[in-house]
Amino acid sequence: MKRGYMWALAALILLGLGGGVTWYRSADRDARLTPTGKLEKRDVEKRAPGQPKPYHGDLPSVAWINVRDAILDQVVKGLDFPWAFEFVAPDELLITEFGGAMKLYNLTRGELRNVEGLPDIPSGVGQVGLMDVALHPRFADNGLIYFSHAVLSRKDAKKRATAVSRAVLEGDRLRDVQQIFVATPFGGSPSNFGGALEFDDAGYLYIGTGDRSRQKQAQLVDTLTGKIIRLTADGEVPSDNPFVGDPEVDDRIYALGVRNPQGLVFDAVSGLLYETEHGPMGGDEVNIIRRGANYGWPTITYGANYSTQRIGSGTRAPGMEQPLFYYLPSIAVSPLTIYRGDMFPEWEGDLLVGALKGAHVNKLDLVDGVIKSEQRILAELKGRVRDVKVAADGSIYILVQNGGRIHRLYRDPDNAALERPKVRNGAAVYKLVCASCHSAGLELVPQLSRPGDWPDRVAKGKAVLYQHTIEGFGDMPPRGLCENCTDEELRGAVDYMLRQLQ
């Protein structure tokens, strides 16, 4: 064996790649290399009591909280800045796009279709556009959908407000479109529209309206901004709304003092309505919305102005509600859901909160009305989480704005996430296996940092290089002594090296 490769083999052993104590994440995950280079099976029973098998899946953030058999698949792509979605059938999603379009996606056929018949919706500036969508509780019978959106003032086209319209979804078209609510007064700000929608089990519609960047309006009871609104499905005022009969209060108001509601979800099990809202700089909140309650904005808040100046009088005041949970710093919350399903029974009753800036799903462990812990999961999505829904089978669908995609989180019935090795990319395999030879400065071994060492080798073509790497060539041992590297991974290492030489 030439001196260069003898030194390289010694380097492999020193790096732990050929040592007698290295356990491999691979198809031979219970195997090791002995000091002589022989692959031997590990006695599984020698694993320490309670020590789990190695995790080879792609979701370490979920495995960290002991869900080790979860799979995350992308099921929808190609959306244009999506905002919200609902299941209109077990295999069909109704999706809103912020620019003013609505889409239907069939999960079985992989078919994306435009929904026709939407009204003109202003967009293109700030937070102005099409927002949330909700289904009438008897959607299967009447086909009614509700959607929130910005609307222009008829008196001043530079002013806008949050509106809610409803329509019948018939095939790929809306008919009988009717605007049933406008959160007056109109304002010139392009931000803080809110727009969260939800029905309760009695068929009442709840609407979260933003303060439209006019903070004090959230505490004014004759305006509809910065409020939680409660209406009948026809847009009328329920007779049992908390302020009915009070001439000084708009009787559509159910609760007040919210800043910019992003999500509403009603839990039929507990009968509670949960809300998420954006704080200013810090102070995003999760609230339980109660009849006639005041949530304090802007009198109390855990956030500050973007100038870092204090807002209001502090974090507490008599007659004003405390959040169930708040975030410092903000994660830029998006809509939330409460997990009710069979697929992840260990999460039953927990809140799942989307995070835009935080780029994850925030799991809040809710026990007897108290948040016991917070876990930040699914950062593997690598994007702004805009909506989260639980499907009928208990799987979880997550809408990600950047890339215009929807993913499905589900349990792998065959536990493949535990059993299969994760395919390592070419750069990783090179660093683990090849770098100890080709980036070690050895005189008799071609170095990746010396392009002049490679022309004759590169001229042989990829197929030959792949073969030499897998089968060995001259003094280079087969597979670089990496018995647990797959052929695909070794070819990836060759591809990586060729790219570096370009």
Q: Where are the domains of the chain?
A: 3-56+422-501, 57-78+331-420, 116-327
**What's the pLDDT at 12?**
43
CB-CB neighbours of 181 under 10 Å: 22
CA pair distance 230, 225, nearest whole angstrom: 13
The pLDDT assigned to 421 comes to 55
Of the two residues 492 and 37, the one the predictor is more confident about is 492
The string of pLDDT tens digits covering residues 185-201 is 999 999 999 999 999 99
Residue 398 has pLDDT above 60, yes or no: yes
Alpha carbons 189 and 159: distance in angstroms, whole number: 8
Range scoring the smallest mean pLDDT among 134-148, 244-258, 274-288, 456-470:
456-470
C-alpha distances in angstroms, 361 versus 62, 257, 309?
10, 26, 30
Confidence of residue 428 (pLDDT cuts 50, 70, 90): confident
- Per CATH, is 3-56+422-501 categorized as 1.10.760.10? yes
- Residue 436's SS3 state is helix
Q: How high is the pLDDT of residue 168? A: 98
In terms of Cα–Cα distance, which of 415, 476, 485, 408 is closest to 444?
A: 476
Tell me what pLDDT residue 106 has. Answer: 97
pLDDT-derived band of residue 417, with 50, 70 and 90 as boundaries? low
Q: Which residues of 201-228 are buried (b: 16+ CB within 10 A; e: fewer)?
A: eeebbbbbbbbbbbbebbbbeebbbbbb
Which class is 116-327 in CATH?
mainly beta
Give residue 454's pLDDT: 86
Rounded CA-CA distance 377/375 in Å is 6
Each residue's pLDDT tens digit, 40-52 = 444 444 556 666 6
Q: Which position has the token pair 């999706």?
A: 95
Per residue in 67-94, pLDDT (tens digit) is 999 999 999 999 999 999 999 999 999 9
Structure-token match 């710093």, residue found: 329
Q: What pLDDT score was predicted for residue 185?
A: 98
Q: What is the pLDDT of residue 431?
A: 81
* Tens of pLDDT, residues 166-188: 999 999 999 999 999 999 999 99
Structure-derived torsion over alpha carbons of residues 111, 117, 123, 127, reported in degrees to the nearest 10: -70
Residue 251 has pLDDT above 50, yes or no: yes
The helix (H) or strand (E) run that includes residue 496 is helix 487-501
Two tokens, residue 132: 């949330």
Of the listed ranges 11-20, 100-109, 244-253, the least confidently predicted one is: 11-20
Please say whether the beta carbons of 354 and 82 come within 8 A: no
pLDDT recorded at residue 49: 64
Q: What percent of the chain has pLDDT over 90?
A: 70
CA distances to 50, 306, 322 from 283, in Å: 40, 12, 12
Residue 129 near residue 100 (C-beta atoms within 8 A): yes
**pLDDT at residue 384, as a whole number:** 98
